[in-house]
Amino acid sequence: MEHIGFLVAVVIITALAFDFTNGFHDTANAMATSIATGALRPKVAVTIAAVLNFAGAFLSVKVASTISGGIVNEKAGIHPSVIFAALAGAILWNLLTWLRGLPSSSSHALYGGLIGATIVGVGLHGVNFTTVVTKIVIPAVASPIVAGLAAWGATKVAYLITRKGSEKTTTKGFKTGQMFSASLISLAHGTNDAQKTMGVITLTLVSVGALPKHAMPPVWVIASAGLAIALGTYMGGWRIIRSMGKGLTDIQAPQGFASETAATAVILTSTHMGYGLSTTQVCSGGIMGAGLGGPKGQVNWGMARRMVYTWGLTLPAAAVVAGAAAFVTDRGTWGVLLVGAVLVAGSGAMWWLSRRQPVTAGNVNEVTPVPLDVAITPAGATPTPASTTVAA
Amino acid sequence: MNINWSALADTAAVSFGITVAVVATFALGVLGLSRREAATEAAGTASPATTGTLALAGATVCFAACAAAVAYGLTLIAA
């Protein structure tokens, strides 16, 4: 048991690393459409998102307690090596989908990681499958559809009402509106997702007896989780921002406002009702709906299909990776070190691959117009179509 | 396993309703601003000032309603 102290430190660092990937994976949710319509300049957008994510982390700790108490059964003997394996699976999946520019759900990656690692490390009885279905799977299917329908309806209404107004004034108005809707999403994101990391760290501290059962996260946990997600958000997952803002549909200011409002409404209503849904899926669904409801009525179905496949894969894939990791970490300290080495090497390799075709604040909007699915362009050729950022 | 379908349906319906209502209100506000601009430009013809002021007042009411929705959203986040 003498490696517990070391292991707890490793888990906390890994949890914060996950929080960081969560931040940059999800910058796109709030800001992709604002960047695409030009409502906010890219750097300004990520700065606002980062500040609001940090602020959001301090607003509530309600979800932090449900993550540890809901999906996995703490009493079944969840120990730090299991949590470490869960985080390793979630981080690797997050980085892989980022490399491919696909907006997968960081929450599902985390849930999948926890489930997989718990099944291997503790056994099937460690997972509350009823909670998994009612609180995760059903909302995951329903929420993007609801957001899509709402955004579709709102887009239709917005165009109908403003059809006689001057286009210059209405565009300016909707762009201003987008600043508010995008900010609200960022704030809600910080509140929801930073809490998940707080929940994981708290769960770890509870599992070694450093905190009493059902304890609230200590202030240093809240602050460090908020800081990690804010830093990640500021780094900006530009690949995903490009896919969501330019890859799905050609989005105009009224559509951007409609999709962001739909996403905000769905996220806040569902959170209020206790469903742990994915911000990513809600926002992508909203963008698709707004695309269909717009004057052109177009969505790049190739990209949409790839996103939906990724959503379906996220939970099981993270679970399998985390399960394998849990099997290794269970062997003892050398297992933990091995998984840690694989995690660092894998993350490094994906970062290195991403450098071959970088997407940055400067070129995030430089893509050829929507219907694309064309052959892979030679590396380095710009502007690249959004769906071929995956070439690397 | 007991799935609460009515809670799910309520959540969906409320989300849809709020979205369309907020966006419609905001769009009306934007339309009001647009009307006011048109009225200001057409200043000199019959009663431009009244039309412009009315449009501005309407827009203000709409944006205030949206601000209230945002404020309610904030209380939900912080709850």
pLDDT digit string, tens, across residues A109-124: 988 998 999 999 888 8
Helix/strand/coil for A72 = strand
Tokens found for residue A147: 């957001």
What does the radius of gyration of chain A's CA atoms come to, in whole angstroms? Answer: 20
Give the best residue of A63, A130, A137, A169 to mutate against chain B (max B CB count within 10 A).
A169
Q: How far apart are CA A100 and CA A93, in angstroms?
A: 11
> What part of A 115-154 touches B (C-beta under 8 Å)?
130, 133-134, 138, 142, 146-147, 149-151, 153-154
Q: How far apart are CA A72 and CA B17, in angstroms?
A: 35
Q: How far apart are CA A158 and CA A181, in angstroms?
A: 15
Find all residues with CB under 8 Å of A64, minimum gap 6, and list them: A195, A196, A198, A199, A202, A216, A217
Residue A368 has pLDDT above 70, yes or no: no
* pLDDT at residue A376 in the model: 39
* pLDDT at residue A46 in the model: 92
- Domain residue spans of chain B: 49-79
Q: How far apart are CA A368 and CA A382, in angstroms?
A: 9
Average pLDDT over residues A139-145: 89
Number of residue pairs across A and B with CB atoms under 8 Å?
Answer: 130
> Least CB-CB distance to B23: which of A147, A191, A258?
A258
Q: How far apart are CA A294 and CA A283, in angstroms?
A: 16
Q: How far apart are CA A157 and CA A152, in angstroms?
A: 9
Give the best residue of B3, B15, B22 to mutate against chain A (max A CB count within 10 A).
B15
Q: How far apart are CA A192 and CA A198, in angstroms?
A: 10
Residue A256 has pLDDT above 60, yes or no: yes
Angle between helices A138-161 and B5-41 (to 10 degrees): 20
- Domain residue spans of chain A: 4-391
* pLDDT at residue A153 in the model: 94
Give residue-wise pLDDT tens across range B9-54.
Answer: 888 999 999 999 999 999 999 998 888 888 877 765 555 567 788 8
- Cβ atoms A68, A78 nearer than 8 A: no
Residue A16 has pLDDT above 70, yes or no: yes
Find all residues with CB under 8 Å of A24, minimum gap 6, and list them: A98, A232, A233, A235, A236, A237
